[in-house]
Amino acid sequence: MKNSTINKEEIEKFSKMAEDWWDPVGKFKPLHKFNPIRIEYIKNNIVKTLRLKKGKKPLENVKILDIGCGGGLLSEPMCRMGADVTGIDASSKNINIAKVHARKNNLKIKYICSSPEKLKTNLKYDVILNMEIIEHVENVPIFLNSCTKLLKKNGIMFVATLNKTLKSYVFAIVGAEYILRWLPIGTHDWEKFVKPEELIDILSKNNLKLDKLDGVKFNIITDNWSLSSDKSINYIAKFIKN
């Protein structure tokens, strides 16, 4: 389908690994290590932009749509911080894993098996999370246009992805998949990586203005991720809807 952003091969790939979502030493181990920096970045930027009070539940009543939510690795911490979270994913296996895990932890999260262009809702969200998802979809411009329609005016969209550079090919594919075996071989396709300037250009056509752009790097010695000025491999961007 021309207007579908679902890549069936990608869905099948992640569906096969669905049982591993909550295993910190399983196939999603790199994402578990990456998660703390993502959570902190999202929380701090939402609090600052929406001028919220800091506290135990700093994101109270903030409506968040987590797109490509997988097993709920970001949806759950957002919910724990008080946000009203909806998580969508095109893989029914991922959604089922997420639902079961949320139920076990008494978390009220609305999980729906859908892609953004097919989501049936009249709601507009305060925040949209597009974290590590755009490198796995078909037709990035249509995908981002569909996401934008779901965002409120002055709402925030976070996008985290991989830059399309020689360095990202060497480290994210050759290094992470083939040498270190952090990820199953074939997790990423370098042709699908998106340069920051391409992302900014696509979203500017959808009335989203770049507010912040940061690199994210991994320190192999400390075994930790941190924010960086180096955007040549991983980067995270924050956009505001005009």
Q: What is the CATH number of the domain that holds 56?
A: 3.40.50.150
For residues 172-187, average pLDDT: 86
Q: Say what the pLDDT of residue 2 is.
A: 58
In a domain, 233, yes or no: yes
pLDDT grade for 182, boundaries at 50, 70 and 90: confident
Distance in angstroms (rounded) separating the CA atoms of residues 30 and 63: 27
The percentage of residues in the chain with a pLDDT greater than 90, rounded to a whole number, is: 87
Distance in angstroms (rounded) separating the CA atoms of residues 147 and 15: 22
Per residue in 209-240, pLDDT tens? 999 999 999 888 898 999 999 999 999 999 99
In a domain, 103, yes or no: yes
Is the pLDDT at 186 greater than 90? The verdict is no
pTM over 0.85: yes
In a domain, 1, yes or no: no
In a domain, 104, yes or no: yes
Question: Which span out of 1-10, 176-185, 186-195 was modeled with the highest average pLDDT?
Answer: 186-195
CB atoms within 10 A of CB 94: 25
Residue range of the domain that includes 44: 8-241
Contacts of 27 (CB under 8 A, 6+ apart): 17, 20, 183, 184
Is the pLDDT at 1 greater than 70? The verdict is no
In a domain, 40, yes or no: yes
In a domain, 3, yes or no: no
Contacts of 173 (CB under 8 A, 6+ apart): 188, 190
Q: What is the count of structural domains for the chain?
A: 1
In a domain, 2, yes or no: no
Per residue in 40-86, pLDDT tens? 999 999 999 999 998 889 999 999 999 999 999 999 999 999 999 99
Distance in angstroms (rounded) separating the CA atoms of residues 30 and 188: 13
In a domain, 65, yes or no: yes
For residues 108-124, average pLDDT: 97
Contacts of 202 (CB under 8 A, 6+ apart): 140, 141, 144
Average pLDDT over the chain reads 95
- DSSP classification of residue 195: -
